[in-house]
Amino acid sequence: MSKLYFKYGAMGSSKTAQALMCKFNYEQKGFNVFLFKPLADNRCVEDGFAYVSSRIGLKSECIEFSKDDSFFKLCTFYDIIKDLSVIIIDEAQFLTSRQVNELKEISFKIPVLCYGLLTNFKTELFEGSKRLVEIADSLAEIKSVCKCGRKAIINARIVDGKVATEGEEVYIGDQCYEGMCFECFIKRKS
């Protein structure tokens, strides 16, 4: 049965690795998997091809989308809505509410699996994540730990060794973010 899934976690929780392992599993069973990532995530483009890449070395070519793209139109262009098709979205927090609504309708016909952050560095929900929480058929947390050993729930942006609380919502770069528990976030913020 097709559904809209949202699997979320803090920075460093292996969201992308799990998305790529899920893609591999579906492909082994003969499914056509369409892996998407937002244009905002410009970290992995080589020789004109976009890739989704995890910190542990897993990597796969993907289709990029912008905030203006319609998933209805993308599905038509790539001939996605057919038997044995699956859509996987990496960095789903960057989806717009409209795109999530479209993916919900698409999930009536084929599975749609979204992986991403729940909140930004200010501890506020991203637009795409908020809408996914509201209408996804399945929500699953991918857990990770803080340096202190507690569950990481905050995506702290670190600037000059300090926790930042102001700035643009989107800044792409692994090196400036750290998944941490709320207690460590408050301590490092002071």
Position 78 scores a pLDDT of 87
Residues in the chain: 190
Residue of 91, 102, 127, 178 with catalytic role: 91
Q: Do the domain assignments include residue 182?
A: no
Query: How many whole angstroms from its chain centre is CA 125?
Result: 13
What total of structural domains would you count in the chain? 1
pLDDT confidence of residue 176: 86
Output the CA–CA distances (angstroms, integers) from residue 18 to 72, 80, 101, 108, 135, in the order listed: 25, 22, 24, 23, 22
| Contact yes or no for 128/99 (Cβ under 8 A) | yes
Q: 169 in a domain, yes or no?
A: no
Is residue 141 annotated as a catalytic residue, yes or no? no
Confirm whether 21 is domain-assigned: yes
Assess if residue 154 is contained within a domain.
Answer: no
pLDDT tens column, 25-79 = 999 999 999 999 999 877 666 677 888 988 888 999 999 999 999 999 999 998 8
* CATH number of the domain bearing residue 60: 3.40.50.300
Q: Is residue 153 part of a domain?
A: no
Q: Which range marks the domain in which residue 115 is found?
A: 4-143
Does residue 156 lie in a domain region? Answer: no
Please determine, for residue 174, whether its predicted confidence score (pLDDT) is greater than 60: no
